[in-house]
Amino acid sequence: MPVMNGLQFLEKSAPLGILKKIPVIIISTEGKEEDTIRGLRMGARGYLKKPFNPPDLHNLIDKIFAGAN
């Protein structure tokens, strides 16, 4: 994202409560464990490191929506 990264987006969005209605998956070239943990703690529902296999994304989406019920 040109203006901010995903973690900054989560930081600004979390207080607004929109992350409870919109599941966020971080897809990033940064795959440090602390980034993953921080993103999930800030409200992301999943984290994928680039490059990833499309089935991994599909499985993550299925998992997120299965838990939404």
Residues 10-30 have pLDDT tens digits of: 888 888 888 888 899 988 887
Q: What is the CATH number of the domain that holds 23?
A: 3.40.50.2300
Q: What is the mean pLDDT of residues 55-66?
A: 95
By the 8 A CB rule, do 52 and 7 touch?
A: no
Number of domains into which the chain is organized: 1
Q: In the chain, how many H helices and how many E strands?
A: 3, 2
Residue 25: which domain range? 6-67
pLDDT band for position 58 (cuts 50, 70, 90): very high
Non-local CB neighbours of 30 within 8 Å, separated by 6+ positions: 49
Residue 41 in domain: yes
Residue 1 in domain: no
